């Protein structure tokens, strides 16, 4: 049976489809705001006439490669090509400045392969079971999960939890603009048809905050994101990149597992899993130089990303319930090619299993292709600033315009870009704002759904074992670092007082 | 553009950064207060959640403002003899260079937004990138700023004309 599946998957035509899909995906990933979803919407009708596995191979390679392309620009320019590359911008630019861009690009590629393979093994072993478990998570569990994610804000706030929470609050405020999915009313739209139709889009905020914000900041400081062209050689980065993987296998595998678990939860997706993987690693090793170019800080998010990409397809393919836009599009694509979603997709269908084999192969194909092409992107980083900065600004504009074909998105990107610039200027982190935009709709909708359940059942869903455990973990996660900080500060004051007393004596 | 600007003293940088922080704290307080008040309009469509978030942000911004005022006061006290006048620190030569550069990047975005409406997608990219590139090149700064201003005025007039007369200007006119 396995030989039969492998023979169906590994054909020259399928491999060419993977290669082409990866090339298109990398190109889309480099342009912020475009990404895999944009590519899928265009490519699904175009590939309708192709044989099933060739078409699905092309689509899946394009979607996964777009995330890797976004990681390259996140490392080199601090521009996440996709919301899944946000956490890569925390350490990537610092690594670039240290002349370790090539090492970061290589290690990110291989970490992504490991994360994706972990996820594939989990899916092929227990896909339907995982999908079933994911669907049974209640709104109260979800709400407490978002509170736990919010409690983790302090670890991406550069040691300033109050500022981090304030910035997350700004993100929450932004997320409430537009149509309220529960009540069906428009909020904070001020009569604008653009805001009523689009609200404030996550991808546009990411492009504005990180892309335009960085462009303004570079114009201010007049410093290139990468200083030396010589250090951008992928050949030179290959050995250090592989060594980084060898030195941090546990971190990579752990992030892959985190990503795989997050992918199962409908509606969460890679925009959260990469930040979660980064925060977990930064929590576990506090004094590892976070924010100053820690290689684990780029490997962990990308391992989680690729793992999520695989498992987020599971609820869609096993139960027919897509949790996010990409999985909905992929579900449409498999139905278009005559495959039926359901448990049998994982158990007795050759095409279903061959699809996941192709997904695994695509991880290797786009990593190798990405490493070759990243030399091209990397040399772009050494372009003189008067050419580079307007190019970044206009690419960001194109990306935000392409999200919904509206000029209003470019204006939103510009405003968030100015916010990003102010935050960078004040040495404040950008990620909490984005985390607020991601978590805002998730927490509000699930909180209100949980309240509706409470009204119907006269029983508080927040008192169940899962929400209570998550709540306690969230409180501990938020309070512990503050206590450590206070104790440290108290210790410093006590030691300075004792020194003063000794001197006086 | 000179690659190395004369760097301001640390006290000047601190004064600028502290005043910027205070301004942002105040702005955030005002925005969150307005946000909470506006949220009350949606009593039957989800006012509770935004109100809670707005109050939280207002509270955090107020506490940050108080802390920043105390920090600024302390730094002023410690540097009272050496503190330069605010006017000098805000409008020194370095800030002038920086403002021009930031305006150059900003121009590319604004130009793109304006030109996209009038001259079309590809021409908008070309014009926005080339003019801003020129704006960031130090030697030709006055010429480039003049070009940007001219294009902006032309684009604005064209846009207003098409808006008022209802005649859509054919793509590529500019």
pLDDT averaged over every residue in chain B: 68
Residue A420 has pLDDT above 80, yes or no: yes
Which of A70-79, A316-325, A424-433, A496-505 has the lowest average pLDDT?
A496-505
pLDDT of residue B174: 41
Q: Which residues of B are less than 8 Å from A440 in CB distance?
A: 53
pTM value is 0.74
Show which of residues 430-459 on chain A sit within 8 Å of chain B, judged by CB atoms.
440, 444, 447-448
Stronger pLDDT, B38 or A42, i.e. the higher one: B38
pLDDT tens digit string along B114-127? Answer: 666 665 666 566 66
Residue A437 has pLDDT above 50, yes or no: yes
Is residue A178 helix, strand or coil? strand
Distance CA A474, CA A454 (A): 22
Residue A144 has pLDDT above 80, yes or no: yes
Q: Which residues of A are less than 8 Å from B57 in CB distance?
A: 166, 169-170, 172-173
Number of helices followed by number of strands (H, E) in chain B: 6, 0
**B105:A390 CB<8 A:** yes
pLDDT of residue A130: 72
Query: Residue B5 — very low, low, confident or very high, per pLDDT cuts 50/70/90?
Result: very low
B40 CB within 8 Å of a chain A CB: no
Which of A65-79, A107-121, A278-292, A483-497 has the lowest average pLDDT?
A483-497
pLDDT of residue A249: 92
Q: How far is A261 from chain B (nearest CA, A)?
A: 28
Q: Hey, which of A201-205, A417-421, B110-114 has the most confident mean pLDDT?
A: A417-421
Stronger pLDDT, B76 or B64, i.e. the higher one: B64
Pairing of the two strands A186-187 and A178-179: antiparallel
Distance CA A376, CA A288 (A): 31
Q: Which residues of B17-28 are buried (b: 16+ CB within 10 A; e: fewer)?
A: ebeebbebbeeb
pLDDT averaged over every residue in chain A: 81
**Per DSSP, what are the bridge partners of residue A187?**
A178
Residue in chain B lying closest to A391 (CA): B129
pLDDT of residue B124: 65
Residue in chain A lying closest to B56 (CA): A169
Q: Which residues of A are less than 8 Å from B35 in CB distance?
A: 173, 188
The DSSP 8-state label assigned to residue A186 in this structure reads E
pLDDT of residue A154: 64
pLDDT tens digit string along B42-71? Answer: 877 678 888 888 888 888 888 888 888 887
**Per DSSP, what are the bridge partners of residue A322?**
none
Q: If you count residue pairs, one on A and one on B, with CB atoms under 8 Å apart, how many are there?
A: 146
Closest by CA position to A262, among listed A392, A442, A111:
A442
Mean pLDDT along residues A18-43 = 79
Which of A284-288, B47-51, B54-58, B89-93 has the lowest average pLDDT?
B89-93
Residue A406 has pLDDT above 70, yes or no: yes
Distance CA A65, CA A35 (A): 9
For B106: left if phi > 0, alpha if psi spans -120 to 50, otherwise beta; the answer is alpha
Stronger pLDDT, B110 or B174, i.e. the higher one: B110
A183 CB within 8 Å of a chain B CB: yes
Q: How far is B53 from chain A (nearest CA, A)?
A: 6
Q: Which residues of B are less than 8 Å from A184 in CB distance?
A: 45
Distance CA A53, CA A438 (A): 34
Query: Residue A177 — very low, low, confident or very high, per pLDDT cuts 50/70/90?
Result: very high
pLDDT of residue A41: 74
Query: Residue A229 — very low, low, confident or very high, per pLDDT cuts 50/70/90?
Result: low
Stronger pLDDT, B91 or A445, i.e. the higher one: A445
pLDDT tens digit string along A194-208? Answer: 888 888 988 888 888
Are B106 and B112 within 8 A, CB to CB? no
pLDDT of residue A503: 58
Distance CA A297, CA A294 (A): 5
pLDDT tens digit string along A32-88? Answer: 666 777 778 778 878 888 888 899 999 999 988 888 888 888 888 888 877 788 888
For A320: left if phi > 0, alpha if psi spans -120 to 50, otherwise beta; the answer is left
Are A58 and A97 within 8 A, CB to CB? no
CB atoms near residue A278 (< 10 Å): 30
Residue A429 has pLDDT above 70, yes or no: yes
CA A130 distance to own-chain centroid: 21
Stronger pLDDT, B96 or A301, i.e. the higher one: A301
Closest by CA position to A391, among listed B1, B153, B131, B116:
B131
Show which of residues 48-67 on chain B sit within 8 Å of chain A, judged by CB atoms.
49-50, 53-54, 56-57, 60-61, 63-64
Residue B137 has pLDDT above 70, yes or no: no
CA A49 distance to own-chain centroid: 32
DSSP secondary structure string for all residues of A106-175? HHHHHHHHHHHHHHHHHHHHHHHHHHHHHHT--HHHHHHHHHHHHHGGGGGTTT-HHHHHHHHHHHHHHH
Of all residues in chain A, the percent with pLDDT exceeding 90 is 10
pLDDT of residue B1: 38
B172 CB within 8 Å of a chain A CB: no
pLDDT of residue A124: 80
pLDDT of residue A143: 86
Are A120 and A359 within 8 A, CB to CB? yes
CB atoms near residue B156 (< 10 Å): 12
pLDDT of residue A170: 93
Distance CA A150, CA A164 (A): 10
HEC profile of A74-115 = HHHHCCCCCHHHCCHHHHHHHHHHCCCHHHHHHHHHHHHHHH
| Residue in A212, A220, A386 nearest the CB of B133 | A386
Distance CA A176, CA A187 (A): 7
Mean pLDDT along residues A432-444 = 85
The DSSP 8-state label assigned to residue A49 in this structure reads T
A391 CB within 8 Å of a chain B CB: yes
B116 CB within 8 Å of a chain A CB: yes
pLDDT of residue A378: 63
Distance CA A406, CA A404 (A): 5
| Residue in B20, B31, B46 nearest the CB of A180 | B46
Closest by CA position to A225, among listed A419, A389, A423:
A389
Distance CA A206, CA A73 (A): 13
Are A88 and A69 within 8 A, CB to CB? no
pLDDT tens digit string along A133-142? Answer: 766 778 888 8
**Per DSSP, what are the bridge partners of residue A186?**
A179
pLDDT of residue A492: 61
Distance CA A438, CA A174 (A): 10
Could you give the count of Cα atoms lying within 13 Å of A55 in the half-sphere of its Cβ?
22
pLDDT of residue B125: 66
CB atoms near residue A134 (< 10 Å): 22
The interface predicted TM-score of the complex, written ipTM, equals 0.73
Which of A207-211, A349-353, B124-128, B134-138 has the lowest average pLDDT?
B134-138
Show which of residues 141-170 on chain B sit within 8 Å of chain A, judged by CB atoms.
none
Mean pLDDT along residues A88-92 = 88
Residue in chain B lying closest to A179 (CA): B45
Query: Residue A327 — very low, low, confident or very high, per pLDDT cuts 50/70/90?
Result: confident
pLDDT of residue B163: 57
**B98:A219 CB<8 A:** yes
Distance CA A297, CA A92 (A): 8
Distance CA A150, CA A16 (A): 43
Show which of residues 160-179 on chain A sit within 8 Å of chain B, judged by CB atoms.
162-163, 165-166, 169-170, 172-173, 176
End-to-end CA distance of chain A: 85
Q: How far is A491 from chain B (nearest CA, A)?
A: 22
pLDDT tens digit string along A238-276? Answer: 888 889 989 999 999 999 999 988 887 766 678 788 888
Residue A395 has pLDDT above 70, yes or no: yes
Q: Which residues of B are less than 8 Å from A394 in CB distance?
A: 108-109, 112, 125, 128-129
Burial class (CB in 10 A: 0-12, 13-18, 19+), A249: exposed
CB atoms near residue A208 (< 10 Å): 32
């Amino acid at each position: 049976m396995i030989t039969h599946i492998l023979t169906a998957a590994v054909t020259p035509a399928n491999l060419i489809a993977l290669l082409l899909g990866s090339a298109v995906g990398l190109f889309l990933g480099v342009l912020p705001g475009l990404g895999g979803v944009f590519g899928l919407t265009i490519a699904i009708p175009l590939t309708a006439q192709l044989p099933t596995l060739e078409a699905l191979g092309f689509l899946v390679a394009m979607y996964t490669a777009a995330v890797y392309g976004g990681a390259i620009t996140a490392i080199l320019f601090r521009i996440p090509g996709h919301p899944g590359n946000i956490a890569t911008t925390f350490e990537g630019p610092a690594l670039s400045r240290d002349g370790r861009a090539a090492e970061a690009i290589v290690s990110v590629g291989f970490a992504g392969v490991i994360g994706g393979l972990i996820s594939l093994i989990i899916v092929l072993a227990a896909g339907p079971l995982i999908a079933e478990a994911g669907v049974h998570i209640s709104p109260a569990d979800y709400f407490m999960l978002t509170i736990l994610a919010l409690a983790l804000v302090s670890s991406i706030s550069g040691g300033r939890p109050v500022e981090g929470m304030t910035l997350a609050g700004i993100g929450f405020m932004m997320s409430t603009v537009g149509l309220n999915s529960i009540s069906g009313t428009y909020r904070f739209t001020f009569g604008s048809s653009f805001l009523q139709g689009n609200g404030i889009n996550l991808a546009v905020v990411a492009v504005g905050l990180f892309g335009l914000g960085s462009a303004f900041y570079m114009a201010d400081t007049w410093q290139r994101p990468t200083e030396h062209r010589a250090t951008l050689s992928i050949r030179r980065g290959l050995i250090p990149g592989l060594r980084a993987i060898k030195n941090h296998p546990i971190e990579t595998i752990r992030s892959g597992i985190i990503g795989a678990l997050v992918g199962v939860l409908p509606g969460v997706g890679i925009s959260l899993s990469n930040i979660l993987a980064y925060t977990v690693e930064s929590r576990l090793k506090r004094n590892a130089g976070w924010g100053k170019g820690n290689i684990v800080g780029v490997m962990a998010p990308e391992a989680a990303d690729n793992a999520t990409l695989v498992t987020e397809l599971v609820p869609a393919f096993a139960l027919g319930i897509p949790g996010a836009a990409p999985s909905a599009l992929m579900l449409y694509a498999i139905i278009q090619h005559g495959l039926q979603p359901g448990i049998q997709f994982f158990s007795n269908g050759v095409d279903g299993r061959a699809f996941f084999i192709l997904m695994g192969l695509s991880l290797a194909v786009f990593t190798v292709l990405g490493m070759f092409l990243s030399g091209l992107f990397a040399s772009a980083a050494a372009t003189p600033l008067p050419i580079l900065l307007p190019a970044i600004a206009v690419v960001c504009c194109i990306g935000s315009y392409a999200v919904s074909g509206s000029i209003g998105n470019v204006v939103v990107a510009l405003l968030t870009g100015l916010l990003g610039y102010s935050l960078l200027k004040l040495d404040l982190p950008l990620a909490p704002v984005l985390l607020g935009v991601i978590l805002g709709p998730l927490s509000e909708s699930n909180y209100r759904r949980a309240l509706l359940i409470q009204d119907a059942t006269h029983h508080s869903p927040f008192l169940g074992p899962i929400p209570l455990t998550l709540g306690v973990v969230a409180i501990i996660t938020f309070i512990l670092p503050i206590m450590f900080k206070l104790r440290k500060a108290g210790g410093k004051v006590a030691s300075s007082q004792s020194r003063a007393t000794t001197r006086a004596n | 553009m000179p690659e190395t600007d004369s760097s301001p003293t640390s006290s000047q940088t601190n004064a600028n950064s502290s005043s910027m922080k205070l301004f942002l704290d105040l702005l955030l307080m005002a925005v969150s207060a307005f946000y909470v008040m506006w949220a009350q309009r949606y009593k039957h469509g989800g006012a509770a959640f935004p109100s809670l978030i707005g109050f939280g942000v207002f509270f955090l911004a107020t506490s940050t403002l108080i802390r920043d005022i105390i920090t600024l006061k302390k730094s002023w006290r410690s540097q009272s003899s050496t503190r330069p006048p605010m006017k000098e620190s805000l409008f020194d030569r370095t800030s002038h260079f920086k403002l021009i550069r930031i305006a150059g990047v900003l121009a590319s975005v604004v130009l793109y937004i304006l030109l996209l409406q009038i001259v079309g997608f590809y021409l908008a990219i070309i014009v926005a990138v080339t003019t801003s590139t020129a704006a960031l090149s130090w030697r030709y700064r006055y010429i480039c700023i003049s070009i940007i201003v001219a294009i902006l005025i032309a684009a604005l007039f064209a846009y207003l004309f098409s808006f008022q007369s209802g005649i859509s200007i054919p793509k590529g006119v500019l």
